[in-house]
Amino acid sequence: MAEYDYDLFVIGAGSGGVRAARLASELGARVGIAEEYRIGGTCVIRGCVPKKLLVYGSQYGSDFADARGFGWTCQDVRFDWPTLIHNVKREVDRLNGVYTRTLERAGVDRFLTRAVLQSPHEVKLADRDATLSAKTILVASGSHPMIPDLPGKEHLISSNECFELEQLPGSMVIIGAGYIGMEFASIFAGLGVAVTVLYRGDQILRDFDMDLRDGLAEAMRNRGVDLRVETDVASVEREGHGYRVRLKRGDSIAADRVMAAAGRRPNTMGLGLEKIGVALGWDGRLVVDEFSKSAVDNIYAVGDVTHRMNLTPVAIHEATAFAETLFNDTPTPVDHSFIPTAVFSQPEIGTVGLSEEKAREMYRRVDIYKAQFRPLRAMVSGRDEKMLMKLVVDMESDKVLGCHILGGDAAEIVQMAAVALKLGVTKAQLDKTMALHPSAAEELVTMRHKWEAPAPVAGSDAAA
Ligand SMILES: Cc1cc2nc3c(=O)[nH]c(=O)nc-3n(C[C@H](O)[C@H](O)[C@H](O)COP(=O)(O)OP(=O)(O)OC[C@H]3O[C@@H](n4cnc5c(N)ncnc54)[C@H](O)[C@@H]3O)c2cc1C
C-alpha cells in the first residue's frame, strides 16, 4: 500500500495550481487538488481574462469617436452594461469548464472545498471530517485584494465585485493607482462613467518608468479621468443611494460606487503554514527558494502566494519548473529577469526590463533613446494623443536594459521586444534591424539619437 494518498496535493486551482497538477499527473504522479471558489483562479474568473474583455468593450467608445475622421457616421451609439457583463460571464463560465476538463482528462482528483495544512504531509478539507496525505504539497493559493483600513471600509468594493455589478454606476471613485486601478479607471471612463482616482503617492504606477507614469497620467486626464495624486482618504460614508468619500485635507467627493485598488496580499492566512514551520515574509508572502521550495522540505509554493511577480505567465512558468524539478528529474530554477508586463489602460502600456531610474541606480552609465510622436491613425482621427517609445541602454556593453511603450498595441509590441531583451540584444543590433513600415513599432529600430547625454560624473570620463 502506498505510504501517502497522493504523490502531490495542490492547494488552489488557479493558473499555477492547475498547470502543476496537470503536468505532474501527466508525468505519472497521483495528484489531488482543492479549490475553494472556482477552478481557473483569479486570471480566468476575476482577473486578466474578464478584465481584458471589459477593456475591449470600453474601447469602442473612443473607436466610434475616432471613426468620424475616417468618414464614418456613428449616430445613436448606445451602450448596454448588462449585455457586456452577461457576455463576459458566459466566456468565464466556458473557460471554467475548459480548466475543469483539463484536470479531469489528466486524471487529477478534484475537491471543490477549502484545504488547510494539518501537518507537513496532511491536508484537511473543509467539507469532510477526514484528512488526506501527500508526499509533496504545493501551495498555489494566490492573493486577494487589500481593503484599506479606514472608517467606512465596508462600503468599498474591489476588482472582484466590479465583475458582478448589475448596473453601470454614473460615477466612481477609485482609491489607489497601481495597474489594476488604472485599468478599471480606463474601463469605466471609456464607458462614460465619471471617474475620480485618489492616490496618496506623488505619481501613479509606482515602480514603472517615470516617463510612462507621467505620460499615462497626462493622457488619462485628457480623456476625462479626474486623477488626484498626493490625496489621502479619511473615510467613506453612505449618502443617499451612493457614497461620500471624505479626504484628509477636508473636502469630499460624492460617488455611486467606491472601489479599492490598493494592492493585493498573498493568501497565506489560516492555512496552517506557520505552525508547521513554513516561513512567511512581512507581507504574508510564502518564502521560497529558486526551486519554489519553502522552509519545509516537502512543501512548495508557486504564483501570487509567493509574491515574486504577480502575473499569470509567471505563476504558470513557476509551476512548470516545479513539475520538471520534482516529477521529471530535471532541476529547473526559475529565472525572473526580463518579464514583460502591460497596463491595459487607455492608452496602453507595455514594458520590459529596467526603468530608467532603476538602471541609473544599477549601472555606471546609461543611455536613453526616446521617441514621442502622434501615431499615423491620430493624424486623421484627430485624437490629440502622443505615443511614447523608450529604450534604456547600458553604455558600456550597449545592451538594451529596458523597453517602455505608451500607446496603441504597446502590449503586443513589447511581447516581441522581450524576446530580444532576454537574448541580450544590443542597441547596435536593433539599429541593424530593418524597420517595418508604416508601423509604430518601427521606432524601436530607428531611434538614432540619444535623448540626453548622461550627467557628467566627477572624476570619470562619462561626458567624453
Ligand atoms: C483584476 C486583475 C487583473 C489582472 N490582470 C492580469 C493581466 O492582465 N496579466 C497578468 O499576467 N496577470 C494579471 N493579473 C494577475 C493574475 O491574475 C495572477 O497573477 C494569477 O492569477 C496568479 O495565479 P495563482 O495560481 O498564483 O493564483 P490564483 O489564480 O489566484 O489561484 C489561486 C486559487 O486558490 C484558491 N484558494 C485559495 N486558498 C485556498 C484554500 N485554502 N483551499 C482551496 N483553494 C484555495 C483560490 O480560490 C484561487 O482560485 C490580474 C489580477 C487581477 C486581480
Q: Is the CB of 163 under 6 A from ligand 1?
A: no
Q: Is the CB of 79 under 6 A from ligand 1?
A: no
* pLDDT: which is higher, 453 or 285: 285
Q: Give the catalytic positions in this structure.
A: 437
Nearest protein Cα to ligand 1, atom 15: 311
Q: Cell numbers for 308, please give them.
A: 515574486
Lowest mean pLDDT among 49-63, 230-244, 441-455: 441-455
Which of these, 14, 398, 343, lies nearest to 209 by C-alpha position? Answer: 343
Nearest protein Cα to ligand 1, atom 38: 141
Nearest protein Cα to ligand 1, atom 23: 15
Q: Is the CB of 350 under 6 A from ligand 1?
A: no
Distance 312 CA to ligand 1 centre (A): 7
* Integer Cα distance of 8 and 133 in angstroms: 9
pLDDT digits (tens, 9 = 90+) for 168-227: 999 999 999 999 999 999 999 999 999 999 999 999 999 999 999 999 999 999 999 999
pLDDT at 119 (0 to 100): 97
SS3 state at 362: helix
Q: Cell numbers for 453, please give them.
A: 547625454
Nearest protein Cα to ligand 1, atom 48: 41
Distance 327 CA to ligand 1 centre (A): 24
Average pLDDT, rounded, for the chain? 95
Distance 238 CA to ligand 1 centre (A): 31
pLDDT at 264 (0 to 100): 97
pLDDT digits (tens, 9 = 90+) for 327-376: 999 999 999 999 999 999 999 999 999 999 999 999 999 999 999 999 99
* Integer Cα distance of 252 and 250 in angstroms: 7
Q: Is the CB of 7 under 6 A from ligand 1?
A: no
pLDDT digits (tens, 9 = 90+) for 65-123: 999 999 999 888 999 999 999 999 999 999 999 999 999 999 999 999 999 999 999 99
pLDDT at 198 (0 to 100): 98
Distance 42 CA to ligand 1 centre (A): 3
Distance 436 CA to ligand 1 centre (A): 37
Q: Cell numbers for 49, please give them.
A: 481574462
pLDDT at 457 (0 to 100): 52
Nearest protein Cα to ligand 1, atom 20: 312
Q: Is the CB of 11 under 6 A from ligand 1?
A: yes
pLDDT at 460 (0 to 100): 41
Q: With 80 as the cut, is the pLDDT of residue 301 above it?
A: yes
* Integer Cα distance of 277 and 119 in angstroms: 10
Answer for the pair 153, 147: CB distance below 8 angstroms, yes or no: yes
Lowest mean pLDDT among 237-246, 395-404, 446-455: 446-455
Lowest mean pLDDT among 140-144, 322-326, 362-366, 452-456: 452-456
* pLDDT: which is higher, 194 or 129: 194
SS3 state at 379: helix
Distance 46 CA to ligand 1 centre (A): 8
pLDDT digits (tens, 9 = 90+) for 12-64: 999 999 999 999 999 999 999 999 999 999 999 999 999 999 999 999 999 99
Q: With 60 as the cut, is the pLDDT of residue 464 above it?
A: no
Q: Is the CB of 303 under 6 A from ligand 1?
A: yes
Q: Is the CB of 180 under 6 A from ligand 1?
A: yes
Neighbour count for residue 54 (Cβ, 10 Å):
24
Question: Model confidence at 455, in pLDDT bands (50, 70, 90)?
Answer: low
Rg (CA), the chain: 24
Which of these, 138, 157, 139, lies nearest to 148 by C-alpha position? Answer: 157
Q: Is the CB of 58 under 6 A from ligand 1?
A: no
Amino acid at 358: K
pLDDT at 75 (0 to 100): 87
* Integer Cα distance of 353 and 338 in angstroms: 5
Mutating to test ligand 1, I would choose from 19, 43, 269 the residue with most ligand atoms within 8 A of its C-beta, which is 43
